[in-house]
Structure 1
Amino acid sequence: MNILLAEDDPNFGIVLRDYLELHDYNVTLCKDGCLGITAFRKGKYDLCILDVMMPEKDGFTLAREIKKLNPETPLIFLTAKAMKEDMLEGFKIGADDYITKPFDSEVLLYKIKAVLNRKSPVQPEQKEQNDFTIGQYKFQSNLRILSHPDSEVKLSPKEAELLKMLCLHLNDVLPRDLALEKIWHEDTYFTARSMDVYIAKLRKYLKQDPSVEIINIHGRGYRLCVHNGVMM
């Protein structure tokens, strides 16, 4: 996802840009509204985060120009003052959300995800995959049954969800934050430690086939690999 961030405070702007990029967003930082509208005309953005008070061109003016160019572009306003008049003005222009400085960066992250989810086009319904072959194992995710020629185990709901996500990301990284949000519904220190415990359980269940392993990708997530085997 590409985000246009217009923020005149250079230190705050850089910190916020780097934080969002750590969460896999591509961020273009502009220090005023004039540079912001120039960048918007040149690029394609899924979301714009605009500081209200900026030199050259304020956030409201920039937002109006963006909406003229693309009325569907989602907007989040940042402001140092929580005045009712300003908030009403922002929503009249078409703001999807409004956040007052200082704010918790994690709160902004969830607001961004909520806005992008609302704006995502509805995809045609597809048949969900529930049956997987993992080396010597058969996994029926809807029944939560992991079977091997010599054994069979009934997984817990979280174990089954996590293994299914790993299967769907076979030989690719399953991002830690994606799994935490989908299964645990929050990304915190405690839920991350809980997921580590479930990964250890899945490794134990899969140890009968040496060609199957779950690799820890430091700082990113986990990868389910099947070496010289079959995975469907």
Structure 2
Amino acid sequence: MNKQASKGNLLVVEDEENISEMLQLNLELEGYEVSVAKTGSQAIKMVRSEYFDLIILDIMLPEMDGITVCETIRTQNMEVPILFLSARDSAADRIEGLKKGGDDYLTKPFNLEELLLRVSKLVTKNNRLRQTTSVPDIYEFAGGRIDFAAHECFDRNGARHELSKKESALLKLLIERDGETVSREHILQVVWGYNVYPTTRTIDNFILGFRKYFEKDSRSPVFFHSIRGVGYKFTSKEKK
């Protein structure tokens, strides 16, 4: 019997063991891969080292509360959806949670079916936002030409260069998001996959290589940009 593909990779941040076990069990039964953190600091470490499609985040945590965890994640430009769980049910508490970067807010005690429905909607929405228009096998722009099927490119002078699979995947991802900044976390998840994270220097070296191929002056790039502290961007149109 073939293993069913995962619906998504989730992180549950909850210090009450009975609740975290219940959430993990039921989410896994729904087809998700689930990791559990019991403190805010543990959650932040996990988010930095692994891509998650959704975080279910309790507000009342030891050492560091869920609001602070959420703010820390957002200041690091991580786009992962966050569903708050809280015993606080006032309108002011909900508004604060959403203002601080939460995508949804559910009060305890909660209905399990409602939670599963909200999780499904947030994961589906996140996946839809990450879907982009496809790039043809042969892509041409002012800097040169890329043949994704053959894993090769031709620079602005017509010279041919072989591309590794990772280089091709990164180029395709950036071109698909032409004009948009793509976060480091998204690049790592799409190009390298879950749990296999290189250093930021690795991505920087790839970008430097692309600049050598396609830019007139690699020190003043017009196509391949590094956005400090955020990610990377490809812009197809050369400024005049």
Please give the TM-score of this superposition, normalised by the length of structure 2. 0.54
Residue type of the alignment partner of 1:35: S
- SS across alignment from 1:73: helix
Instruction: Provide Cα deviations, 1:2-53, integer angstroms capped at 9, x if missing partner.
Output: 97855234942222221332412565767524338x949xx9x8666x7xxx
Q: Following TM superposition, by how much is the alpha carbon of 1:217 offset from its aligned partner in structure 2, in angstroms?
A: 0.4
Task: State the match for 2:136 in structure 1.
Answer: 129
Instruction: Considering Cα pairs closer than 8 Å and 6+ residues apart, tell me whether 1 or 2 has the greater RCO.
Output: 2
- Partners of 1:146 and 1:153 within 8 A in 2: yes
Q: Which stretches in structure 2 are left out of the alignment for 5+ residues?
A: 1-52
Whether 1:72 aligns to 2:112 is no
Query: Which ranges of structure 1 fall in alignment gaps of 5 or more residues?
Result: 51-56, 76-114
Partner of 1:110: none
Q: Distance in 2 between matches of 1:30 and 1:71?
A: 13
Output the aligned Cα RMSD.
4.4
Matches within 5 A, 1:137-156: 137-148=144-155, 150-156=158-164
Separation in 1 of the partners of 2:181 and 2:232? 5
1:7 touches 1:29 (CA, 8 Å); kept in 2?
A: yes
User: Residue 138 of structure 1 aligns to a residue in which SS?
Assistant: strand
* Structure 2 counterpart of 1:8: 60
Deviation sequence 1:129-164 (CA, Å, 0-9, x none): 333222141112122121245311121111111111
Task: Kindly provide the amino acid, as one letter, of the partner of residue 147 in structure 1.
Answer: F
Identical counterparts, % of pairs: 18
* Aligned partner (choices 192, 198, 222) of residue 232 of structure 2: 222
- Give me the whole-angstrom Cα distance separating, in 1, the residues matched to 2:239 and 2:216: 15
Separation (CA, whole Å) in 2 of partners of 1:136 and 1:120: 31
Aligned residues between the structures = 174
Deviates more, 1:10-19 or 1:26-35: 26-35
1:34 corresponds in structure 2 to 89
SS in 1 for 2:136: coil
Alpha carbons 1:203, 1:214 under 8 Å: kept: yes
The aligned residue for residue 181 of structure 1 is 189
Secondary structure of the residue that 2:223 maps to in structure 1? strand
Give the corresponding residue for 2:3. Answer: none
Against the structure 1 CA distance between its residues 136 and 209, is the aligned structure 2 distance closer, same or farther, given a 3 Å change threshold?
farther
- TM-score, with length taken from structure 1: 0.56
The CA distance in 1 between the partners of 2:212 and 2:81, in whole Å, is 37
**Alignment match, 1:170:** 178
Structure with larger Rg: 1
Contact residue 170 and residue 224 of structure 1 kept, 8 A: yes
Q: Which moved more, 1:17-26 or 1:196-205?
A: 17-26
* AA aligned opposite 1:222: Y
Residue of structure 1 in register with 2:70 after alignment: 17
Indicate the residue corresponding to 1:159 in structure 2. Answer: 167
